[in-house]
Structure 1
């Protein structure tokens, strides 16, 4: 049986994911649209966060990805390749989308493909994520004296409207 990261690698090469990559490239230069997506993904992941263990850890890392993209969009953190950010936004768009290889309304299996893709991203870009986490710790502490994660801005429209059809 293959690991989640291996399943995610297969998903990352799927034609459906290429649609999310193209969409991510388009919205990366539109901070408000990215902020909407980040807020919705964070809310969706928070709903699933109640389970501990491996999936709980994976969700924590996915929330780190949300913060990484937000820091990139705001200009606070730029020590990362733009292609990595595009891939990260594409993963987040995939997670948010109700239309993917295994629809989210199917219990357990519906989120397995999402978790697989997150796992692939985290495995592939582990070094960059670790550098961001270290930056996040030091910059949050040095800026305020207290460590805190940046908040995702409030939304007024659903990000699903941003997912396609334009």
Structure 2
């Protein structure tokens, strides 16, 4: 019998996906997303927080999703600037909720916990990506066409 590969960060079972999606931090992010979508100042602050965190976190847990995490942030930036609006309200809120969870230092696994602190963030980004990938691909094609 061949040994199996260790699970990737986004497939980790500690904590389980249900533990994350049922957490208070995840529910709060999902609820707050609608308000952020309607308030350019709050959305701008979220973007500043996300860009600040991007500069200091390890990329390892996000290996599979890093380009899409960056695309989510750029999409929100262009949405906030009213330069890009070709995203459904539902998918916009999913992206905002994922980024809200990402920037929160106090989630299922606090960010300060060595090695594990960003696994739950990577899981939430991966989960959001399953729902919004088509919109992100459309956005990235739009970005490329502008160059």
Higher relative contact order (CA 8 A, sep 6+): 1
With the shorter chain as reference, the TM-score category is 0.7 to 0.9
How large is the RMSD of aligned CA atoms in angstroms?
A: 2.5
* 5+ residue gaps, structure 1: 142-166
- The CA deviation at 1:87 is 1.1
State the partner residue of 1:72: 79
Normalising to structure 2: TM-score of the pair?
0.80
State the partner residue of 1:33: 42
State the partner residue of 2:124: 117
Answering whether residue 38 of structure 2 is matched by residue 44 of structure 1, we say: no
CA distance 1:48–1:60, shift in 2 (3 Å): farther
Choose which of 17, 27, 39 in structure 2 pairs with 1:18.
27
Secondary structure in 2 matching 1:76: coil
Matches within 5 A, 1:63-142: 63-139=70-146, 141=147
- The CA deviation at 1:47 is 1.7
Corresponding pairs, count = 138
Normalising to structure 1: TM-score of the pair?
0.72
* 5+ residue gaps, structure 2: 1-5
